[in-house]
Structure 1
């Protein structure tokens, strides 16, 4: 048996990601918050249910420290074909998402 390489543990608050417009976002701004990190897709069979529930959840708990960080993803059957900005516009216009939509991860 070979030795496995150790991967240093890293907090989510140590990452810098891109928002839907390509600007850096330091996730340390969310320290002290409860985070729900999700990948989303506008062409998925669960899109309507997922976005509706995410919006409801955010409205109910945002004042208690919940933050939803949504990352559009085209990785699964190409269900997020547009740009990051398209995904953000879709979520905010159709589902009244007030939580951040970040840059597509694939």
Structure 2
């Protein structure tokens, strides 16, 4: 298990590996996404949050996942085109990953260990589970899939108001 969120790397949807240190000092909203889910319209709200707060330090990171009802069956090009065409997604999107099980991406292993779900469970229950990570990477809040992006505004404002890390 990595000792810090910033010890983890992820592959961009467009290719190439990115160390999460690239986002150090930013407020991160990390979401497992799917293109064929009843919650897929959350993309619109996520994009709205990103555009509203990116100049203040919010970055939304989307991680497509096909583990829930096979609702993200496409490849990278198809996922990227869907997000851009239907929701104008401009926030960083990453390669499709697993969020549960033995093959879960290290980022999700880390997030689940540091922000448990209802009743203390670690497992991600569905698409569009959201994690809000403070700018120092130390404080992580977890939100249910049905929590809309708009419902996160208060917590985003609070975390952005906190002093930035040195």
TM range (shorter): 0.7 to 0.9
5+ residue gaps, structure 2:
99-166
1:47 to 40, 53, 57: 40
- Report if the CA contact (8 A) 2:2-2:8 is conserved: no
Query: What residue number does 1:16 align with?
Result: 9
2:10·2:20 contact (CA, 8 Å) conserved in 1? yes
Contact 1:87 1:101 in 2 (8 A): no
Aligned pairs, number: 98
Does residue 90 in structure 1 map to residue 90 in structure 2? Answer: no
2:61 counterpart SS class:
strand
* Larger Rg computed on CA atoms: 1
TM-score by length of 1: 0.86
User: For 1:13 and 1:86, how far apart are their aligned partners in 2?
Assistant: 29
Q: 2:66 matched to which residue of 1?
A: 74
TM superposition shift of 1:9: 5.3
What is aligned with 2:30? 37
Runs ≥4 in structure 1, deviation > 2 angstroms? none
What is the DSSP-based 3-state SS (H/G/I as helix, E as strand, rest coil) of the residue aligned with 1:101?
Answer: coil
SS of match in other structure, 2:97: coil
Match of 1:28 in 2: 21
For normalisation by structure 2, the TM-score amounts to: 0.56
Aligned with residue 52 of structure 2, among 24, 36, 60? 60
8 Å CA contact 1:72–1:84 kept in 2: the answer is no
